Amino acid sequence: MPKAVNVRVTTMDAELEFAIQPSTTGKQLFDQVVKTIGLREVWYFGLQYMDGKGYHTWLKLDKKVSSQDVKKENPLQFKFRSKFFPEDVSEELIQDITQKLFFLQVKEGILSDEVYCPPETAVLLASYSVQAKFGDYNKEVHRPGYLLSERLLPHRVLEQHKLSREQWEERIQVWHEEHNGMLKEDAMLEYLKIAQDLEMYGVNYFDIKNKKGTELRLGVDALGLNIYEKDDKLTPKIGFPWSEIRNISFNDKKFIIKPIDKKSPDFVFYAPRLRINKRVLQLCMGNHELYMRRRKPDTIEVQQMKAQAREDKQQKQLERAHLENEKKKREVIEKEKEQMEQEKQDLMMRLLQFEEKTKKAERDLTEQLQRAKLLEQERMKAEDEAARLEGERQAALLAKEELARHAEDQKKSQEQLAAELAEYTSKITQLEEAKRIKEAEADSWQLRALEAQDDLVKTKDELHMVMTAPPPPPPPPMYDNLDDNSDSEENTSTHSADLQSEGIDDHRYEEDRLTEAEKNERVQKQLKALTSELAQARDESKNTQNDLLHSDNVRQGRDKYKTLRQIRQGNTKQRIDEFEAL
């Protein structure tokens, strides 16, 4: 039995290992991979490997894996990557797994600067990337530093701004909060909707020359073929949509494109190596096929996939609505618990106030009782003193009478008697005055004692009211809830492919497209705010060639789709003549 060959396939988020037979074809291996990851939108993807000469090459599906020039390793190494890109991610991508694989690959292209992205767009995309990974921002969970270890921005952007990693985190966090309530899958889609408007998104670039020998670049993407100047990958100069091309062929390094307009000359360019023409032909055939497929009614399989995707999305929406409902219920219960706890605290506070008031009333009562007792003692003293004074007065009267008798009996002299009488009269007057004062003092003490008695009665009444007041209600109950490689460079055979264009809707809708920023006012405002904010920290001395080209395009009001309309103006012959003149 032939010995099995170990194979490792790296997707954007996983490593898969298989043991295949020497007879296993590329398609059999590809089918095994897509089955393992649950992918049905297989037409975008391919298996990429490094050949014996160090070139990245796509595995041919119709040939045995062992017959292709895969670098000899154990296990054999392959990358599962998107070979073709959709025109509009929101209209074409059906499965979540397809969307995720594109998201991860496009993000890696932006972070590695293979796809130029201006700084403000890079920060906005980073915030969607964070939402796709972490979900909604929660300050209790996402503490300061939660993004420091994340790779979120191209190194170029970091170098061009005088901001620390902490300051970058603060800016990205603010925009992360803006996406609150957005599903992770929706965050990935929003990322792709903005990224697909970048000029270099989904473009394969090849060095070519025209008949004059001018060095140029050929860009192959989902919408057609574009011609770029050597030093500008952002702004194509001439464009040819797939619907204008009927045949593509090459012989050695000469590449010939035949337009549908038979009055137009052939579009001819030269590549530096034969293998480049082979790759260009493969990409042209694949992109043209998808371009035509998108302009025809969906196949039964695609219709079924879309129906299933709608059902899955509806189910997710229902589940999310249910979760949101449960979350709201929990929030209501938590709020009620907090409210009940607050009411309990209020009642406890009122009870303490009642107790303090009662204690104060008891103290006041005790003090008033003491005062009443003292007043009573003072009153009794005053009465005793008044009685004593009354006794002295009575004694003085008796003495007066006795003196009068003695005056008669002893017939003392009138002067002596008058003097004694005057003395006793004066003494009586003094005693009567003292008695009057003491009686007034006794009346005053009596009045104060009566007032104290009234205060005592009132205090007793207040104490009785406090003590008999109904106790505060108990707190409410608490509830717990809840190749290209096997062909030699000397191969001079002609390779050709006819591109069918019948039966399609030939309106070039892509020329009418708007960027996401033009369609979405929210994105427009976010990008404008970020541009203003980052300008203050920008170090203009570190601008790259692409930064300067992008700024010039912005100043002239150009974007990807406006440029597309411009470079496709005029008939095919005019544009081919323009290419030859470059």
Which tens digits make up the pLDDT trace of 75-87?
999 999 999 999 9
φ, ψ of residue 440 in degrees (nearest 5)? -65, -40
Residue 467 has pLDDT above 70, yes or no: no
Helix, strand and coil percent figures for the chain, each rounded to 5: 55, 15, 30
Distance CA 547, CA 116 (A): 8
| pLDDT on residue 401 | 86
Looking at the DSSP bridge assignments, the partners of residue 257 are 248, 267
Q: Residues of the chain with pLDDT > 70: what percent?
A: 91
Strand-pairing partners, residue 60, are none
pLDDT band at 137 (very low <50, low <70, confident <90, very high): very high
pLDDT at residue 490 in the model: 46
DSSP 488: -
From CA 72, how far away is CA 54, in angstroms rounded? 11
Q: Using omega within 30 degrees of 0 as the cis cutoff, is the peptide bond preceding 75 cis?
A: yes
Average pLDDT, the chain: 87
pLDDT in tens, 282-307: 999 999 999 998 888 888 988 998 89
Length of the chain: 582
Model confidence at 354: pLDDT above 70:
yes
- Percentage of the chain modeled with pLDDT above 90: 54
pLDDT at 489 over 60: no
How big is the chain by its Cα radius of gyration, in Å? Answer: 52
Q: If we measure between CA atoms, which residue out of 64, 5, 2 comes closest to residue 30? A: 64
Query: Where are the alpha helices (H) located in 411-499, listed in sequence order?
Result: 414-468
At 502 the pLDDT is 65
Res. 486 pLDDT band, cuts 50 70 90: very low
User: Rounded to an integer, what distance in angstroms lies between the CA atom of residue 513 and that of residue 508?
Assistant: 10
Residue 509 has pLDDT above 60, yes or no: yes
Mean pLDDT of 543-568: 92
Give the distance, in angstroms, between the CA of residue 328 and the centroid of all CA atoms in the same chain: 19
Contact 372, 459 (CB under 8 A): no
Of 115, 47, 41, give the one whose Cα is nearest residue 76.
47
Neighbours of 440 (CB within 10 A): 11
Comparing 209-223, 439-453, 457-471, the range with the smallest average pLDDT is 457-471
Q: What integer pLDDT is reported at residue 465 of this predicted model?
A: 64
Bridge-based pairing of strands 5-10 and 76-82 is parallel
Task: Provide the 3-class DSSP secondary structure of residue 240.
Answer: strand
- pLDDT tier at 142, thresholds 50, 70, 90: very high
pLDDT, tens digit, for every residue of 411-456? Answer: 767 777 677 778 888 888 888 887 788 877 777 777 876 776 776 6
pLDDT tens digits, residue range 372-383?
899 989 889 988
- With a cut of 50, say whether residue 476 has pLDDT above it: no
> How many Å from the N-terminal Cα to the C-terminal Cα in the chain?
60
> What Å distances lie between residue 407 and 401, 415, 420, CA to CA?
10, 11, 10
Q: What's the pLDDT score for residue 40?
A: 93
* Pairing between β-strand 45-50 and β-strand 76-82 as defined by DSSP bridges: antiparallel
Both tokens of residue 138?
């929660």
Q: Is the pLDDT of residue 228 over 90?
A: yes
For residue 491, the model assigns a pLDDT of 54
pLDDT at 222: 94
How far is Cα 96 from Cα 194, in angstroms, rounded to an integer? 18
Rounded-to-integer distance, Cα 196 and Cα 204, Å: 14
- Note whether 237 and 567 are within 8 A (CB): yes
Q: With bands split at pLDDT 50, 70 and 90, how would you rate the model's confidence at 108?
A: very high
* Model pLDDT, residue 482: 38
